[in-house]
């Protein structure tokens, strides 16, 4: 069985400061991991994905995430927050090829960016 835990329901940062959104996963396999962003009244947008290639994954809008198998973590970071980054972020785990592909979403982390 797979599961994902987003450790913070809300993260508040000032514009220009670093962002860290934490995610821990559980999977019986070597999973695929994703981060999605959801802006108000907008659809879920893929930020980045890990699929067993490089452990440091770069995504859109300056975000990146590092897969750490020993810690079962896939934390999302950005060096400098922008006001437009304020949104809901979801960490997602999915079984690898041969699995069901049914992804499991975390409960989400709301990123608040202060001027």
Which residue of 16, 79, 82, 101 would you call a contact of another protein, by CB under 8 A?
A: 101
- By CB under 8 A, residue 100 contacts another protein: yes
Question: Which span (15-23, 36-44, 58-66, 77-85) binds another protein, by CB under 8 A?
Answer: 36-44
Q: Binding mask 42-81 vs another protein (x if CB under 8 A, - otherwise)?
A: xxxxx--x-x------------------------------
Which residue of 28, 40, 69, 102 would you call a contact of another protein, by CB under 8 A?
A: 102
DSSP letter string, 9-73: SEEEEETTS-EEE-EEEE-SS--EEEEEEE-TTS-EEEEEEE-SS-SEEE-GGG-EEEEEGGGTE
Q: Which of residues 6-35 bind another protein (CB under 8 A)?
A: 32, 34
End-to-end CA distance of the chain: 41
Size of the chain, expressed as the number of residues it contains: 115
Report how far residue 63's alpha carbon sits from residue 47's, in angstroms, rounded to the nearest whole number.
7
Residues of this chain that interact with another protein (CB under 8 A) are: 32, 34, 36, 41-46, 49, 51, 90, 92, 96-98, 100-108
């Amino acid at each position: 069985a797979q599961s994902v835990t987003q450790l913070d329901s809300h993260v508040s940062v000032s514009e220009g400061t670093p962002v860290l959104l934490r995610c821990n996963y559980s999977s019986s396999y070597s999973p695929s991991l994703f981060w999605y962003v959801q802006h108000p009244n907008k659809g879920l947008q893929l930020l980045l994905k890990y699929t067993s290639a490089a452990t440091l994954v770069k995504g859109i809008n300056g975000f990146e995430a590092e897969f750490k198998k020993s810690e079962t973590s896939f934390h999302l970071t950005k060096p400098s927050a922008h006001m437009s980054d304020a949104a809901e972020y979801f960490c997602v785990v999915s079984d690898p090829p041969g699995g069901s592909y049914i992804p499991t979403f975390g409960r989400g982390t709301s990123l608040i960016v202060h001027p």
